[in-house]
Amino acid sequence: MVSEINRPQERFNWFKMFWTGFTNMSRLSKTLWIVAVVKLIIMFFILKPFFFPNVLNTKYEDDADKAQHVRTELFKKAPVTE
Amino acid sequence: MDLLSASAVNWSRAQFALTAGYHWLFVPLTIGLGLIMAIMETLYVKTGDEKWKFATKFWQKIFGINFAIGVATGLILEFQFGTNWSNYSWFVGDIFGAPLAIEGIFAFFMEATFISIMFFGWNRVSKKMHLASTWLVFVGASLSAFWILVANAWMQYPVGMEFNPESVRNEMNDFWAVAFSPVAYNKFLHTTFSCWAVGAAFATGVSGWYLLKNRHTDFAIKSIKISAMVGLVAFVMLAVTGDGSAYHVAQKQPMKLAAMEGLYEGKEGAGLVAIGMLNPAKTVYNDDVDPYIFKIELPKLLSLLGYRNINAFVPGIADIVDGGYTLQDGTTALPFEERQARGRRAIQALADYQTAREEGRDTDAANHETILRENYAHFGYGYLENGEDLIPNVPLTFYSFHLMVMIGMYYILFFMIILYFIYKKSMNTTRWLQYVALWSIPLAYLAGQLGWVVAEVGRQPWTIQDILPVQAAASAISAGNVKTTFFMFAVLFTGLLIAEVTIMVKQIKKGPDTTTTDEA
């Protein structure tokens, strides 16, 4: 068991922490990064643009039109409005 | 509602349930293990015992696997709001957007910042700084959950807003009423303790496996000590906050409470069903069929839990539909037909307001707005066709609730026994208990899922309680599109779950690393 250096020997460098952290990653960490990045690519570059368009934003540009669309939908679904 | 759109609504609901259910497999372990590893690291910093450091780093590794695979799965729910639930998304306006935006800030900045120090900072920052980062990861994850639960609680108990007929949106006029509604903070506490419970059950079960294999026994006993204490506190607090939930449900969502208990006919001094079986022959809420095949009841407890009075009247499903009973504020509950008429009046007033505005009849518009405001509390009832539409799936709500409670009770006993054997220093020789610990892991997950089933199925037909039912909240899209993405998500999430379990099992088999290598 090797004793731990409890206090940093040099001034803490944020960039260096990330740099050494990423460059010295274990095999497990690399696998997890791959899984996370592939998942995010699927979510944001396939699912979101091709399967999950924002219905109101793709049909209308301004808020008044969006409000009118929702108003029409709410009336259409209600059994009473004329 | 025509068949096509009914199908689209149901597929949208199924898709939301699927993604929320999968998402909730990842979140509780993140928060629960977050607490356990923070406690362990605190012990390491206080005692200087390197074994606590190895334990901390092992559970951080498991935490990291769960976090990396589960991260951003909740965003898929937000995709669905814009596509499948666009009416709802517009209608709730900034009330839903504000908590989710705050959650995003906390999730991104707080968790991301301190997670990086937690994983990369061993030996690069001071012990205390590292410890603070580990705690802040836990706090950040909990705060993220808080804002999501604020948004969910608002749907169950809408407060702090005013409906704007011009923009067709509910606009927030009291942020603090939304953020700290009694439903929100109780929901946060109950849900957070359920996360601690999952983390504790998981760590205890995995440690039990090490004891069974006679590997890393010192690490396993140390882990069980911490996780069992966290688990006992969590499950006791779940009972306490569950009582708070029951109280709020009784006040704000009496139909949900009635469904949880299978209570069709209300009564004074109502008992709480401890164990029961519903009668499948009961198909109509007001028929004469006995709703139970059998039940064992704790006398008067439901009245006590729901109204803090052992003799209080607890309305049943039939009472809530038919009205006529006295509410807590002394007024008389309205029958469904009256609420439906008022809801339709509100919807008609919204239409008339719009017409008057377009024709420049400002006085008429103001009158219609007044009618709308007077009846807005019943707005959603205007979309329902008959009283039965108010009733959620009673068997699903009833059995989910009772099974969840039973698992909670089981775990209180389980952790007390574990702590007894730890105290007697015989945990590492009690093989039956090690098996029980290992095979109990899924029960904690199941309890969490059942809790959400009770909360969400029990509040049907509403997306926003009394204001907007699901059919009005859904977008006009084809069922085919939703079906396609439903199965895509099923495949994606199942793949992620398989990846998580495979990687985790591999790392658990490897066991804790007792060298001082500090690579992330």
Contact status, residue B42 vs residue B54, Cβ threshold 8 Å: no
pLDDT score at B259: 97
pLDDT tier for residue B113 given thresholds of 50, 70 and 90: confident
> Which residues 3-42 in chain A show a CB within 8 A of chain B?
4-8, 12, 16-18, 20-21, 24-26, 28-29, 31-33, 35-36, 39-40, 42
Would residue B520 count as lying in a domain? no
Q: Inter-chain contact B53–A4, Cβ cutoff 8 Å?
A: yes
Among residues B361, B387, B413, the one where a domain terminates is: B387
User: Domains in chain B: how many in total?
Assistant: 3
- Is there a single domain that holds both residue B340 and residue B294? no
User: What's the predicted TM-score (pTM) here?
Assistant: 0.92
Would residue B273 count as lying in a domain? yes
As a whole number of angstroms, the distance between CA A55 and CA B39 comes to 46
- Is there a single domain that holds both residue B356 and residue B294? no
Lowest mean pLDDT among B251-260, B376-385, B478-487: B478-487
pLDDT score at B70: 85
Contact status, residue B348 vs residue B374, Cβ threshold 8 Å: no
**What's the average model confidence in pLDDT over B401-406?**
97
Q: Inter-chain contact A35–B69, Cβ cutoff 8 Å?
A: yes
pLDDT tier for residue A1 given thresholds of 50, 70 and 90: very low
Q: Inter-chain contact B125–A12, Cβ cutoff 8 Å?
A: yes
* Beta-bridge partners for B140: none
A vs B, Cβ pairs < 8 A, gives 152
The DSSP secondary structure of B146-163, one letter per residue, reads HHHHHHHHHHHS--SEEE
- β-bridge pairing B161-164 and B169-172: antiparallel
Helix axes B112-120 and B50-70, enclosed angle (nearest 10): 140
Q: Which residues of B touch A17 (CB under 8 A)?
A: 116-117, 120-121, 124-125
As a whole number of angstroms, the distance between CA B326 and CA A59 comes to 48
Smallest CA–CA separation between B35 and chain A, in Å?
A: 22
pLDDT score at A79: 74
- Is there a single domain that holds both residue B152 and residue B301? no
Q: Which residues of A touch B125 (CB under 8 A)?
A: 8, 12, 17
Of the candidates B65, B348, B481, the beta carbon closest to that of A81 is on: B348
- Is there a single domain that holds both residue B243 and residue B153? yes
Would residue B378 count as lying in a domain? yes
- Is there a single domain that holds both residue B154 and residue B112? yes
**Identity at B60, one-letter amino acid code:** Q
pLDDT tier for residue B103 given thresholds of 50, 70 and 90: confident
Among residues B362, B387, B412, the one where a domain terminates is: B387
Among residues B368, B387, B406, the one where a domain terminates is: B387
Q: Which residues of A touch B488 (CB under 8 A)?
A: 47, 51
Would residue B178 count as lying in a domain? yes
Of the candidates A51, A66, A80, the beta carbon closest to that of B90 is on: A66
- Is there a single domain that holds both residue B365 and residue B284? no
Would residue B197 count as lying in a domain? yes
Smallest CA–CA separation between A23 and chain B, in Å?
A: 9
Which chain A residue is nearest to residue B513, measuring alpha carbons?
Answer: A1
Would residue B516 count as lying in a domain? no
Of the candidates B168, B350, B471, the beta carbon closest to that of A77 is on: B471
Domain, as residue range, for B383? 336-387
- Is there a single domain that holds both residue B381 and residue B405? no
- Is there a single domain that holds both residue B402 and residue B376? no
Would residue B329 count as lying in a domain? no
pLDDT score at B478: 86
Q: Inter-chain contact A8–B53, Cβ cutoff 8 Å?
A: no
A49 touches chain B (CB under 8 A): no
**pLDDT surpasses 70 at B518:** no
**pLDDT surpasses 50 at A2:** no
- Is there a single domain that holds both residue B76 and residue B189? yes
As a whole number of angstroms, the distance between CA B351 and CA B408 comes to 49
pLDDT score at B517: 53
- Is there a single domain that holds both residue B249 and residue B269? no
The neighbour count for residue B189, using CB atoms within 10 Å, is 19
- Is there a single domain that holds both residue B382 and residue B246? no
- Is there a single domain that holds both residue B273 and residue B205? no
**pLDDT surpasses 60 at B137:** yes
**What's the average model confidence in pLDDT over B239-267?**
95
Phi (first) and psi of residue B515, to 5 degrees = -95, 175
- Exposure letters B357-378 (e unless 16+ CB within 10 A, then b): beeeeeeebeebbebbeebbeb
Q: Inter-chain contact A77–B116, Cβ cutoff 8 Å?
A: no
Contact status, residue B116 vs residue B133, Cβ threshold 8 Å: no
